[in-house]
Amino acid sequence: MDLQSFVVALIVMGCSAYAAWSLMPAAARRAIATTVLRLSLPEFLAKPFAKALKPASGCGGCDSCGDEAAKPAAMQTVKFHPRIRPSSRSR
């Protein structure tokens, strides 16, 4: 196997792991995170697993509650505009 195939295989495995982690139910993520955090991992590798152990926020589980950019700016009023229907006499 040449170097290019090895690099492509690593990228595919990484993307597969990310997709599986993102689509996995929260209970399964917590179970895996508990097991993995028993190992001595560097800080940058342990951070996503520690985040998975925190309780879910209940807003849908988008995993962006810690980001400042994901928070809503301010409450806005919703206005409903009635649809103007054409009259049936204009034939």
**Local structure of residue 39 (DSSP, 8 states):** S
Q: What percent of the chain has pLDDT over 70?
A: 76
For residue range 60-89, list pLDDT tens digits in order: 555 555 555 555 667 888 899 888 888 766
Compute the Cα dihedral for 24, 30, 36, 37 and give only its sign.
positive
List CB contacts of 9: < 8 A, sequence separation 6 or more: 1
Compute the Cα dihedral for 20, 62, 42, 44 and give only its sign.
positive
For residue range 11-23, list pLDDT tens digits in order: 999 999 999 988 9
Q: Where are the domains of the chain?
A: 1-91
List CB contacts of 51: < 8 A, sequence separation 6 or more: 63, 66
